[in-house]
Structures are given as structure tokens and as C-alpha cells.
Structure 1
């Protein structure tokens, strides 16, 4: 992903509409240390910090249709991780003395003004995994928004070079955590269930892990010693029970599942969903 982000930034700097000094310069992502000695004018972008943007954090899942048409189901995925990738941008010249400083300052300022025009990265610049699959949010881009911290001198010392003019470039990207997706079928039918407060029944449906009905499942109200069989739609009903807590036991094929339910005037419907085999 970071290599694709590098390629995206390179595409912005190589764009035909970019200023001539920027287009003519080499673009590098190498650490600007003592061994970095480019042989021509170069814009260096050094990725030195990757942190989550907590202000953009989402907690709810993403829900997407799993295909076209009414028969399509739904896919639930974790929300993307919004990450700020910060580069240190410097300009380098192969010239000497005054010409070197002049070329570096001109190139750095021109690159700053060119990058500052992009509030978000245009889709035409996106490369690799940043383009396909599409990012759920546009890639925001900010320049010169981070002040050097007190340890900036140590940063340059660690690289083994003298401090030099630079500006920050931060791109916010979305990363999808690697995890299993939960898929649910679309609702095909709705079966209203009428319940009565004066003549109540304990009712519900036996469903498999895909929420399909399980006809013929044996349902037992353990404490009452009452048995019944689910019909073709997975529906079961047991009448004549007092309001209280019961244990429902379902036996269907290799499944033998139990669940405690609170049966009352306002809670007469209790579905039983069987796990995957």
C-alpha cells in the first residue's frame, strides 16, 4: 500500500500540468541521509510517520449490497482504518555554492505550491491498490501543517546530515482490516405473527445459520415437558403456558441446541437460529 502511495505522489509531481522545475526534477523516496547524493535536481519525499487519525475513527460496520437486484444479500465489513501518512519533503541540487542553494529553494517552493493546490488527490493519480478497489473516502492531502517538534535536531542528526529547509506532506488513506466478512441473505418474505394477550402462545421459527427455515425441527419446552414440530416455514407454537422463563431445546439433524427465553405477554415470539454445522 505504501509503495502505491509513493507511486501516486510521483504521478502528481510528474503531471504534465506541474510547473517545469517540478516536472524536470527526479522524485525520490529514499531516506535523505549522508549517503543520499542525487546527481540532478531532486524532490525527496521521506515517509517518516504513519499514525491513525482518531478524529475520523468510525465504530459501526459498513453495510453493502452483495450484488444487483432484490435477491441480493448484504455484506457487513469492519469500518476502514483512517491513517495519516506524513512525508518530509526536501529539495536537492547537484550544483555548487550559491547556485545549489538557489535551485533547492526554488524547487522546494515550487513543489510546495503545486502540492498545495490538491485538497484531495484526484482519482486520475491513484495507483495500484489505491485505485482498485476504490477508496471508500477521497485521499485528503495537506502540506506544511506540521511544525517541527523539539526533537527535530535529533532527527537530522540521526540521518547524519545538517538541517535543511523542508515541509511536511500528509495524505490520509483508508486501510481495510483483514478479517472475515459477514454475509446475510436478502429478506424474501415477511411473515407477520399475531399474538394475543388474552390467549397467548409461545411461538417462533427455527432457522439455520443462513436464516433459512428448518422444517421438521423438534422443539421442546423443557420445564413444561411440551414438544412440538416446526412446520414447513420453520414455525412452532406451544399454547397454554404460564408466563415465566423457559428453556427451549431444538433438535434438527446433527444440531441439539438449547436457549433460555423469557416468555411473557409482551415477549411471545422467540426464534431459534442454529449455528453452522
Structure 2
């Protein structure tokens, strides 16, 4: 499931990112590595580091719904859970000292992330193609990290990784819990009908 979300983001960015940035002869790679010095092998790159996965309690639906069957019974389907997947996004130019290209990459990515509040179905990959709800994307909001300084130090700041500009992106997907549906006879109270 999470690998399919990675593939969905990669497809979205590859198709939407301008072909002439940073130049028409240089392809921008998309990676999902832990962002420390030397981890990003193909550059220039945009790196999406998945650092947090949490259930979205605001979108939780505990009620579910009843579906009428042909056999005179109804089946209660439990709705999928909604899960927030949070990424820290960094840009990695070919030359680590090339701040201008790093900012150029981040600027173009910012336009894409702000353009899409929902990821269009055409970009959904593998298991995400069966999503019962839209895939929501919220970008450039505060992250769940307490300290970026501590984060970069944990990423090996003493070994050559300098702190980088970080974009924050949270994508909300539906997770099917694969629970058996409850079945009951059709009763007027259940379906809101009178006999």
C-alpha cells in the first residue's frame, strides 16, 4: 500500500514537472530514500521521505452503511480507515553547493503540490486504483516534527549533510480493513422503511 502511494506520487511528479528544469538535457529523478549525505545516488533529485503515518481521526467514519441484497437481507460494510502519510520533501542538485538549482527544483515542485489538493485518479497506482474516496493531498503546512535541527543532526549533519530547505506534504489514503461484513435481515428500522 505505501509503496503504491510512493509510485503514485512519483507518477504525478514525473508527468507534471517541467521538462526544462533544471535544463532540457537533465532529467530529475524521484527518490524515497532517507535524506542523508550520499544516500541520493541519482541527481538532480526530488526526495520524498516518508516520516510519519497516522490514522486521520477527523475523517473517521465509524457508522458504515447498509447495502440491500437480493436475498432479503442487508449487509453492513465497515468503511475503510483514512490514513495520513506525511513526507518531508527535499531537492538534491547534481552539485550539493548549487543552491540556485536546489531552489529552482523546489519552486517548481511547490507549484505542483499547491495545484493538486487531490491526486487525480489517472495517477493512482496498483492497489490505490481501488480507492473508494479521493486521495487528498495537503502541502506546505507545518510538519509533525518538533525540531528540524534535531532531524538534520540525526540524518548525519556531522558527516556532511547540511540542513536543507524542506517542503512538507501529507497525503490521505483509504485503507481497507478487510473485515467481514455484518449481515442482517431487512428490517424497516435498519433501512428506514415501513412495512
TM-score range, shorter chain: 0.7 to 0.9
Q: 2:113 aligns with which of 94, 115, 119?
A: 115
- C-alpha offsets along residues 163-216 of structure 1, whole Å, 9 cap, x if unaligned? 1001101101111223222234668xxxx7xxxxxxxxxxxxxxxxxxxxxxxx
- After superposition, the CA RMSD in angstroms is 2.3
Q: 1:152 aligns with which of 148, 151, 158?
A: 148
The alignment's TM-score, normalised by the length of structure 1, stands at: 0.59
Match of 2:45 in 1: 42
Q: Is the 8 Å Cα contact of residues 87 and 168 (structure 2) preserved in structure 1?
A: yes
Query: Which whole-Å CA distance do the structure 2 matches of 1:96 and 1:33 have between them?
Result: 12
SS of equivalent residue, structure 1 residue 105? helix
Query: Which whole-Å CA distance do the structure 2 matches of 1:123 and 1:96 have between them?
Result: 35
Alignment of 1:104-143 (within 5 A): 104-131=102-129, 134-143=130-139
Query: Which whole-Å CA distance do the structure 2 matches of 1:86 and 1:112 have between them?
Result: 16
Match of 1:179 in 2: 179
Query: Which whole-Å CA distance do the structure 2 matches of 1:71 and 1:148 have between them?
Result: 49
**Structure (1 or 2) with the greater helix fraction:** 2
Count of residues in Structure 1 that have an aligned counterpart in Structure 2: 180
Structure 2: segments with no counterpart, 5+ residues = 188-194
- C-alpha offsets along residues 207-229 of structure 1, whole Å, 9 cap, x if unaligned? xxxxxxxxxxxxxxxxxxxxxxx
Match of 1:170 in 2: 170
Task: Tell me: CA distance 1:5–1:95, structure 2 relative to 1, closer, same or farther (3 Å).
Answer: same
The higher relative CO (CA closer than 8 Å, separation ≥ 6) is in 2
- C-alpha offsets along residues 146-174 of structure 1, whole Å, 9 cap, x if unaligned? 25744221111111132100110110111
Bigger CA drift: 50-59 or 178-187? 178-187
Query: Which whole-Å CA distance do the structure 2 matches of 1:162 and 1:96 have between them?
Result: 9
Query: Which whole-Å CA distance do the structure 1 matches of 2:111 and 2:122 have between them?
Result: 20
**Structure (1 or 2) with the greater strand fraction:** 1
Alignment of 1:94-109 (within 5 A): 94-95=94-95, 97=97, 100-109=98-107
Query: Which whole-Å CA distance do the structure 1 matches of 2:72 and 2:31 have between them?
Result: 46
Query: Which whole-Å CA distance do the structure 2 matches of 1:7 and 1:149 have between them?
Result: 24
Q: CA deviation at 1:130?
A: 0.6
- Asked whether 1:32 is paired with 2:35, we answer yes
Match of 1:5 in 2: 5
Q: CA deviation at 1:72?
A: 7.2
SS of equivalent residue, structure 1 residue 24? coil
The alignment's TM-score, normalised by the length of structure 2, stands at: 0.82
Q: Is the 8 Å Cα contact of residues 51 and 84 (structure 1) preserved in structure 2?
A: yes
SS of equivalent residue, structure 2 residue 171? strand
Query: Which whole-Å CA distance do the structure 2 matches of 1:14 and 1:136 have between them?
Result: 25
Match of 1:54 in 2: 57
